[in-house]
Structure 1
Amino acid sequence: MTSAAATTRSATTRSAVAVGRAELLSRSARATDALSLFAEASSHLRRLLPYDASVWRVTDPVTGMMTAPVRAENLDESGCAVYWESELFTDNVNLFRDLVRAPVPVAGLRAATGGLPSRSTLHQTFLRPRGLDDELRAVLRVGDRPQGHISLFRAQGRAAFDAGDIKLIASLLTPLARRLRSFAEPAPHPLPDASHGPGLLLFGAQGQLLSVNDDAGTYLENLPEGPAVPSPGGIRVPSWIQATAMKARAIAQERDRGQARARVRDRAGRWLVCHASCLRDADGGLGASAVVIEPAKTSEIVPLVVDAYELTDRETEVTQYLARGLATGEIAARLHLSPHTVRDHIKATFEKVGVSTRGELVGKLFTEYYAPHAERNTTRVRRD
């Protein structure tokens, strides 16, 4: 092939990739939820960048923990614990906690190990037994906040993910992360609180479910679909809950840092918080990991909603004062700003949230979470 022909072919390839990328982002922008976003993105991405299996995950933007929903393609459910054990308890490459802070949060396993992936415990325990030979993983993030993870896998015999693959994935991360983040916006109507108490699950050292209370069973039935781990008694535990339990153990062993805590919406749209800690036996040794699922407090959810509307720190401060009923002059005095500047922040916030009055703003950001609690604690009387 002549150099001119090679140049023409390369230009044609780049053009096809650009068209495919634009179509992927266009279809993803119309997705109505995280799972449909993942399905659209994966369907189009596979044509641009071939792979044999994948996992698409939502993450808690504050803690970076995997949460729901999760979409797994061409992978069975037997390897979830193995995957996260490698991530949390071994010295490995391309850890998600490191990628989230990297200038380019995308990396290939074979490239990172100098073409010797067997140096990685992930390759030894997870990839090779499943006929896989490389993983390209990426963090979907906006600024420094992770909104999701992607893991793409290639089978043995295929070429390794290369610099071109990394460049393509890197160009998709922020638009997809912004779309994921938008799903944290409030539901159109306030939702009633769940009628049951906290759910409790206990996990052993290898991530196996030991026991569960009835309330936890109810929560599990109403969580979004996704990969789950079969347990005795027919209970299917979502892989992200098992990973939360394993994270708690890793923190207790000082193998990891951060919080074993994640927020998730159930199928009805209610926000829940899932948090875990590692218990200690009477002799001081590490015991089971306890995972608690319960309704999320307003203070935990409002930051996610505010982030979904892309409010700046200053706009968030102004909004919080508006929610407390402060006038423009009072807000200006507290923030050491001019009243004109405060009005500019209020105007910008109105435009982002899509409201025109202070009452609408506070209602849209806060009412979904305050209303059920306030109603439950209100006594209504009629007097003639």
Structure 2
Amino acid sequence: MSTVIGRDELISRAGRADSPQTMFSTLATQLRRVVPYDAAVWRATDPDTGMITSPILAENIEDHSCAVYWQYELFTEKINLFRDLALAPVPVASLWESTGGEPERSALYRGFLAPRGVHDELRAVLRVDGRPHGYVSLFREKGRAAFTGVERRFIEELGTPIARRLRSYAKHRPEPSLGGLTGPGLLLFDTGGALISANDDARRYLEEMPAGPTSLTALGIRIPLWVHGTAMRARAIAESGGGDTARIRMRSLTGRWLVCHASCLRDADGRPGVSAVIIERAPISDVTALIVQAYELSERELEVTQCVARGLSTTGISEELHLSPHTVRDHIKAIFEKLGVSSRGELVGNLFTEYYEPLPAGSTGRRP
């Protein structure tokens, strides 16, 4: 294995990236020198649902193939599923190692990887504090050796630092929007996953999406993988009878927070039918949860912050949380340091106001 760049240096270079897109590109350039691969997909995930969200960077893989790959993940594959790796003691695994050198046991390998000349896949979940913030897939073509245990451990050591950096990008504030208020966007997908209808608001939201793998539809609309994946996830939930949620938070090109959620409708005979996907502005409560995680507030610090937001005094917080006033003041001091603020008003503004896009002057729209 090449020693051109070490783990700490790679993490340092990635940490200087000003956006998750840039960080993925940096990782892709640098990691290839240490753990050689022929193709890869880097995905951000919603830490609450573990579903793929923006951004996504695909290397040497066609856009439409990314959606096909994800269909296997949701509907047919049983080996090294990302949702299982997210909970595993070691969130990194190679297909060759997991199948004992018999990758043909994998539906993904038989139907997707082998026909494309792929010999082995190394998967990793980037997680911190038990939450997944990213998924990585590295591929090696036939003729190359399978990924080694040393390479797997190298990727494992990158996981938490890179996930922490991914989480930190939620602190970035959105740019002012020059466009008018957009209502909920609605997209309908048939049972085969093809887009069959979309309203005008959905088209406007899709125009705001950052670059990444997309699928070109019969309507002439390109659907980002994270939106299409939400529709596929809704169908997978309906088919399995599960109670999971097909829901992600994502950011537009300007950094505006959006939420995308989907539900699979049922036909008259009870079978899963059309999937409806809604894209709309994210409620401020959803944004706040991500910002709090980005600043790495502890559970107790979050409770104190919420009390501050409600206007409680130090004495009031002390009584509500059964803490001494001295302890409350210590928590508030620590919170101020983490957020780089010097007053309670500034704290509330940072966490509950500045990440939310206000309504235009004179608008009669309803805030979510």
TM-score normalised by length of structure 2: 0.94
SS across alignment from 2:171: coil
CA shift, 1:179, in A, is 0.8
Q: Aligned in 2, Cα 1:255/1:281: closer, same or farther, shift over 3 Å?
A: closer
Deviates more, 1:237-246 or 1:201-210: 201-210
- Asked if residue 183 in structure 1 is aligned to residue 169 in structure 2, the reply is yes
Is 1:318 matched up with 2:304?
yes
CA 1:159–1:67: 2 relative to 1, 3 Å: same
1:171 — aligned with what?
A: 157
Classify the secondary structure of the residue corresponding to 1:234.
coil
Aligned in 2, Cα 1:212/1:149: closer, same or farther, shift over 3 Å?
same
1:254 to 209, 222, 240: 240
The answer to whether the 8 Å contact 1:350/1:357 transfers is yes
Residue of structure 2 in register with 1:125 after alignment = 111
Contact 1:58/1:70 (8 A) holds in 2: yes
Query: After alignment, is 201-210 or 45-54 more displaced?
Result: 201-210
Distance 1:220 1:33, change over 3 A: same
Taking the aligned partners of 1:257 and 1:132, their CA distance within structure 2 comes to 34
Code of the aligned partner of 2:40: S
Q: Residues 232, 258 of structure 1: CA spacing in aligned structure 2 closer, same or farther, 3 A cutoff? A: same
Residue deviations 1:321-375 (CA, integer Å, cap 9, x gap):
1011110110011001111111111111111111111111111111125571597
Correspondence 1:67 to 2:53: yes
Higher mean displacement: 52-61 or 83-92: 83-92
**2:101 matched to which residue of 1?**
115
Matches within 5 A, 1:364-383: 364-369=350-355, 372-373=358-359
Indicate the residue corresponding to 1:218 in structure 2: 204
For the residues of structure 1 that align with 2:142 and 2:263, how far apart are their CA atoms? 38
The offset of 1:282, in angstroms, is: 2.8
CA–CA separation in structure 1 for the residues paired with 2:341 and 2:182: 34
Q: Measure, in 2, the Cα distance between the counterparts of 1:205 and 1:188.
A: 36
Provide the secondary structure at the position in 2 that maps to 1:129: helix
| Aligned ranges 1:1-384 → 2 under 5 Å | 16=3, 19-187=5-173, 195-254=181-240, 258-369=244-355, 372-373=358-359
Change (3 A) 1:320 1:297: same
Alpha-carbon contact 1:191-1:368 (below 8 Å) kept: no
Structure 1 distance, partners of 2:356, 2:191, is 38
In the alignment, is the contact (CA less than 8 A) between 1:106 and 1:136 conserved in 2?
Answer: yes
Partner of 1:6: none
Deviation sequence 1:254-312 (CA, Å, 0-9, x none): 17662110000101111000000001123322111111000000111100000000000
C-alpha distance in 2, partners of 1:355/1:193? 31
Q: How many residues align?
A: 364
Structure 2 CA distance for aligned equivalents of residues 244 and 302 of structure 1: 22
Determine what percentage of the aligned residue pairs are the same residue: 58
Specify whether residues 121 and 301 from structure 1 end up closer, same or farther in structure 2 by C-alpha distance, changes over 3 A only.
same
TM superposition shift of 1:239: 1.1
| Of 279-288 and 232-241, the range deviating more from structure 2 | 279-288
Secondary structure class of the residue paired with 1:368: coil
**Distance in 1, Cα, partners of 2:151 & 2:27:** 15
Q: What is the match of residue 9 of structure 1?
A: none
Q: Which amino acid aligns with 1:281?
A: D
Alignment RMSD (CA, Å):
1.9
Cα distance in 2 for partners of 1:126, 1:255 equals 26
Bigger Rg over Cα: 1
Q: Distance in 2 between matches of 1:87 and 1:364?
A: 38
Runs of 4+ in structure 1 over 3 Å off:
188-194, 373-378
Determine if contact 2:96/2:103 at 8 Å carries over to the other structure: yes
Q: Report the more deviating stretch, 85-94 or 242-251.
A: 85-94
User: Equivalent residue of 1:184, what SS?
Assistant: helix
8 A contact 1:247–1:256 mirrored in 2: no
CA deviation after TM superposition for structure 1 residue 91, in Å = 4.5
8 Å contact 1:154–1:160 — kept in the other structure? yes
Cα 1:170–1:302 change in 2 (3 A) is same
Structure 2 residue identity aligned to 1:304: L
Where structure 1 has 5 or more consecutive residues not aligned to the other structure, the ranges are 1-12, 379-384
1:139-167 per-residue CA deviation (whole Å, 9 max, x = no partner) reads 11111111111100000121111211110
> Is the Cα–Cα contact under 8 Å of residues 175 and 255 in structure 2 kept in the other structure?
no
CA distance in 1, matches of 2:49, 2:362: 31
In the alignment, is the contact (CA less than 8 A) between 1:88 and 1:256 conserved in 2? no
Change (3 A) 1:190 1:322: farther
1:22 is displaced (CA, Å) by 2.5
Question: Counting helix residues as a fraction of each chain, which structure ranks higher?
Answer: 1
Which shows bigger deviation, 363-372 or 70-79?
363-372
